[in-house]
């Protein structure tokens, strides 16, 4: 037991407190970084390399290390950019991102405005319930939606379509009985052919993807927007009311500006996620019918695993990683995630 | 309930006009209606799991017959060989994922939060970039890794699978924990050092206990990542004896004719329940992890 002089204590604190000590920090960070590099950064570099070789089967990839592959430089990319299937996949992917984002934004705004509205009783319970989809594993949610969109005649969604048809026919008959001299028949345009083949029809399947994606992703957006709406001071609304602003005006000038930032943030993140979606098309019908609905990652994956074109698949994946990189950059630039680094 | 009683009392006393109350009732009704539509899939899958022998090709009621609801399907799943095997495999994978994640992200997060070292800011920025993408990159690199792993015999290995999940989520988990540790006041550490604690003791006795909620959040994320993931597992595992639950579940839906819908639904619900329960118990931490605490207003 030695009693420290005041200076001794001071020195010891200076020695131990976070300082320019480079050693221990690096030692602590390195294991995680190495593990991440092994499973992520190295494979990315390896993909880039594969994409300029001519390997085709998985078994040949390992042969690269024995120098069995030849470098073909950008031949794969040239072939890719002149391939209609590739452009179709890019187009479908962006269409999927755009359509589902639009749907998510509308749904999110409706839900968020309702669940922060003065006139809605029991808001707190509803907020808990509305984000329930988030608590489920994606594979569970997607298999369920796959069942809902069953092509069978009595699949849940096909029943809904039949019910809709009955309503249209019923309405026309009603009008017909009132105005009997018109001899109306239900307009073919408004009726849907039942059963809809949700897995075998191109746009029917695409519709199924978008609905599923929306249901998977809206809770995340609702959480962010609701918390932003709760931060809008009531004084603002009151002031607007005093100035004679109606509900729509207040929505435009008070509510929307207050949630614009969070909405952009949520949109970027959800767009990035849906761009990288793989499971929905895969579980529904493997991006079918044929190869018409393959989102980019599904397209690349099948190119390798089903068609044994590893070099081509790597080129596709490199393109996908490029897009993902853009999203990463956008997410960090447009939000304050990286502030204070 | 009290809202309704209050409204009635207000009406009687003339504090609110009937029109005003009607408006509120209508808006609430709209909200409830929307909620019911949104939650239809959940309600439907539960009724399917409880009903008997419903198939999608029978014209009966969509929700089966409530009079004949039974737990038979759940019993069938719990006694089912492939469910038990899948559960065991999933638990192995999840254990590996959680252990590796905690072992690698806690020291890293501490260093990033409390230490100054060469390249710290660059590394942090890189990690933040990678927090925003996960699943997509995993699938992109999966092609390369699959080819390599099958070449050197690392497929069909649950440990490798768990390691893969942990590795992919290191940036996210490290960064989440780091932001959490940033909120622990340095004065605690100073006090411990004044009392003569060593570096190691400071970490163990001060930081770890105070970072518990953050560690819990990371644990939840790691656990659910390992439990939920499907495509990497399906690619790297070929041996049906080693399938985790997610792959088993997919197998049920792929096999159209052989699947009884109630059994599929019960299997799916039993697979999803642990995640849902954990998720709602840890909702606060999960939400803080999702919005990164960075988007206030």
Beta-carbon contacts of residue B56 (< 8 Å; ≥ 6 apart): A147, A150, A152, A154, A155, A156, B261
Cα separation of the two ends of chain A: 43
Q: CA-to-CA distance for A266 and A90, rounded, in angstroms?
A: 23
pLDDT at A3 over 50: no
Contacts A310 to B, Cβ<8 Å: 143, 147
pLDDT in the model for residue A280: 96
Q: How distant is the alpha carbon of residue A173 from its chain centre?
A: 43
CA distance linking residue A216 with residue A214, whole number of Å: 5
Please check whether residue B273 touches A, CB under 8 A: no
DSSP A53: B
A308 sits in the region (left: phi over 0; alpha: psi -120 to 50; else beta) called left
Task: Give the model's confidence band at A247: pLDDT under 50 very low, under 70 low, under 90 confident, else very high.
Answer: confident
Separation in Å, CA of A91 to nearest CA in chain B? 18
Average pLDDT over residues A176-201: 79
Q: Are A283 and A139 in contact (CB under 8 A)?
A: yes
**Which of these ranges, A27-31, A235-239, B239-243, has the smallest mean pLDDT?**
A235-239
Angle at A251 between CA A245 and CA A254, to 5 degrees: 80
How confident is the model over A42-53, as a mean pLDDT? 93
Residues 6+ apart with CB under 8 A from A66: none
Note whether A137 contacts B171, CB cutoff 8 Å: no
> Residues 63..122 of B with a Cβ closer than 8 Å to A: which?
100, 103-105, 107-108, 110-112, 114-118, 120-121
**pLDDT tens by residue, A109-159:** 999 989 988 888 888 889 888 988 988 999 999 999 998 998 888 888 998
The minimal CB distance from A29 to the residues B111, B132, B249 is found for: B111
Q: How confident is the model at residue A244 (pLDDT cuts 50, 70, 90)?
A: confident
CA proximity to B237, closest of B229, B227, B247: B247
CA A240/CA A116 separation, integer angstroms: 18
A333 pLDDT higher than 70: yes
| DSSP-H helix ranges across chain B | 2-13, 18-38, 40-50, 72-79, 81-114, 120-131, 135-152, 158-168, 170-182, 186-194, 199-201, 208-210, 212-228, 231-236, 245-254, 261-281, 283-290
B123, B228, B275 member nearest A33 (Cβ): B123
**Residue A85 pLDDT more than 90?**
yes
User: What tens digit of pLDDT does each residue of A280-325 get?
Assistant: 999 999 998 989 999 999 999 999 999 989 999 999 999 999 999 9
* Cα–Cα distance measured from residue B174 to residue B183, given in angstroms and rounded to the nearest whole number: 15
Q: Is B147 part of the contact surface with chain A (CB cutoff 8 Å)? A: yes
What are the angstrom distances between the C-alpha of B296 and each of A157, A285, B84, B169? 39, 40, 44, 24
Interface-testing mutation among B31, B225, B276, with chain A (most A C-beta atoms within 10 A): B31
Q: pLDDT value at position A288?
A: 81
Instruction: Tell whether the torsion through CA atoms of A246, A247, A251 and A252 is positive or negative.
Output: negative
Residue A158 token pair: 């096909």
pLDDT at A42 over 90: yes
Residue A99 · residue B19 · CB < 8 Å: no
Q: pLDDT band at A11, cuts 50/70/90?
A: low
Confidence of residue A32 (pLDDT cuts 50, 70, 90): very high
pLDDT band for position A238 (cuts 50, 70, 90): confident
State the helix-helix crossing angle for B158-168 and B135-152, rounded to 10 degrees: 150
Helix axis angle, B158-168 to B170-182, nearest 10°? 50
Intervals of chain B under pLDDT 70: 1, 53-60, 134, 254-259, 284-297
Tell which B residues from 192 to 211 touch A, by Cβ distance under 8 Å.
Answer: 193-194, 198-199, 202
The rounded distance, in Å, linking the Cα atoms of B270 and A251 is 43
Residues from chain B that touch A61, judged by Cβ atoms under 8 A, are 144, 147-148, 151
Q: Is the Cβ–Cβ distance between A145 and A211 less than 8 Å?
A: yes
The predicted-structure confidence for B27-57, as pLDDT tens digits, reads as follows: 999 999 999 999 999 999 999 888 886 565 5
pLDDT for res B297: 27
| Confidence (pLDDT) at A209 | 97
Are B234 and B10 in contact by the 8 Å Cβ rule? The answer is no
Contact between residue A329 and residue A58 where contact means Cβ atoms under 8 Å apart = no
3-state percent helix, strand, coil for chain A, nearest multiple of 5: 75, 0, 25
What residues of B are in contact with residue A123 (Cβ under 8 Å)? 31
Tell me the C-alpha distance between A32 and A29, whole Å: 6
């Amino acid at each position: 037991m030695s009693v420290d002089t005041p200076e001794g204590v001071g020195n010891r604190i200076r020695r131990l407190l976070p300082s320019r000590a480079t050693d221990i920090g690096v030692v602590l960070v390195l294991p995680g970084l190495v593990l991440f590099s092994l499973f992520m950064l190295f494979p990315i570099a390896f993909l880039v390399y594969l994409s300029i070789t001519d390997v085709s089967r998985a078994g040949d990839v390992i042969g690269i290390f024995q120098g069995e592959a030849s470098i073909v430089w950008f031949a794969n990319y040239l072939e890719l950019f002149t391939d209609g299937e590739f452009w179709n996949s890019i187009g479908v992917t962006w269409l999927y991102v755009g359509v589902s984002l639009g749907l998510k934004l509308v749904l999110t705004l409706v839900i968020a405005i309702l669940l922060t509205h003065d006139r809605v009783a029991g808001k707190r319970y509803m907020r808990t319930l509305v984000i329930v989809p988030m608590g489920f594993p994606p594979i569970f949610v997607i298999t369920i939606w796959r069942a809902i969109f069953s092509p069978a005649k009595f699949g849940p969604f096909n029943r809904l379509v039949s019910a809709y048809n009955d309503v249209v026919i019923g309405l026309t008959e009603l009008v017909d009985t009132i105005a009997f001299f018109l001899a109306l028949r239900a307009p073919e345009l408004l009726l849907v052919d039942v059963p809809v083949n949700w897995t075998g029809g191109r746009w029917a399947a695409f519709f199924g993807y978008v609905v599923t994606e929306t249901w998977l992703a809206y809770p995340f957006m609702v959480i962010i927007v609701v918390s932003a709406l709760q931060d809008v001071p009531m004084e603002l609304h009151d002031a607007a009311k005093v100035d004679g602003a109606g509900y729509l005006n207040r929505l435009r000038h008070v509510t929307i500006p207050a949630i614009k930032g969070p909405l952009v943030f949520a949109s970027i993140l959800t767009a990035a996620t849906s761009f990288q979606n793989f499971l929905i098309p895969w579980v529904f019908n493997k991006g079918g019918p044929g190869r018409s609905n393959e989102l980019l990652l599904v397209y690349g994956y099948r190119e390798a695993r089903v068609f044994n074109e590893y070099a081509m698949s790597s080129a596709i994946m490199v393109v996908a990683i490029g897009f993902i990189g853009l999203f990463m950059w956008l997410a960090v630039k447009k939000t304050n995630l990286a502030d204070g680094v | 309930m009290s809202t309704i009683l209050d409204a009635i009392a207000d009406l009687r006393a003339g504090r609110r006009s009937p029109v005003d109350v009607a408006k509120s009732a209508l808006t609430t009704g709209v909200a409830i209606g929307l909620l019911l539509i949104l939650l239809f899939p959940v309600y439907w899958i539960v009724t399917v799991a409880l009903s008997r022998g419903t198939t999608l090709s029978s014209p009966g009621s969509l929700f089966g017959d409530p009079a004949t609801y039974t737990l038979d399907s759940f019993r069938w799943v719990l006694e089912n060989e492939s469910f038990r095997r899948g559960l065991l495999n999933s638990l192995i994978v999840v254990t590996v994922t959680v252990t590796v994640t905690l072992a690698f992200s806690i020291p890293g997060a501490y260093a990033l939060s409390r230490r100054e070292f060469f390249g710290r800011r660059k590394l942090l920025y890189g990690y933040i970039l990678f927090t925003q993408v996960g699943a997509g990159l995993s699938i992109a690199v999966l092609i390369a890794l699959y080819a390599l792993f099958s070449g050197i015999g690392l497929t069909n290995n649950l440990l490798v699978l768990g390691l893969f999940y942990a590795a992919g989520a290191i940036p996210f988990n490290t960064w989440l924990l780091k932001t959490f540790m940033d909120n622990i006041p340095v004065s605690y550490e100073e006090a411990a050092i004044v009392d003569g604690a060593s570096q190691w003791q400071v970490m163990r006795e001060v930081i770890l206990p105070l970072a518990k909620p953050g560690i819990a959040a990371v644990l939840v994320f790691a656990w659910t990542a390992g439990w939920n993931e499907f495509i990497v597992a399906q690619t790297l595992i070929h041996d049906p004896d080693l399938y985790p639950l997610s792959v088993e579940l997919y197998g049920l839906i792929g096999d159209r004719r052989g699947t009884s819908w109630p059994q599929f639904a019960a299997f799916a619900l039993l697979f999803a329940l642990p995640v849902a329960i954990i998720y709602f118990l840890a909702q606060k931490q999960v939400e803080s992890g999702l919005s990164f605490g960075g988007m206030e207003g």
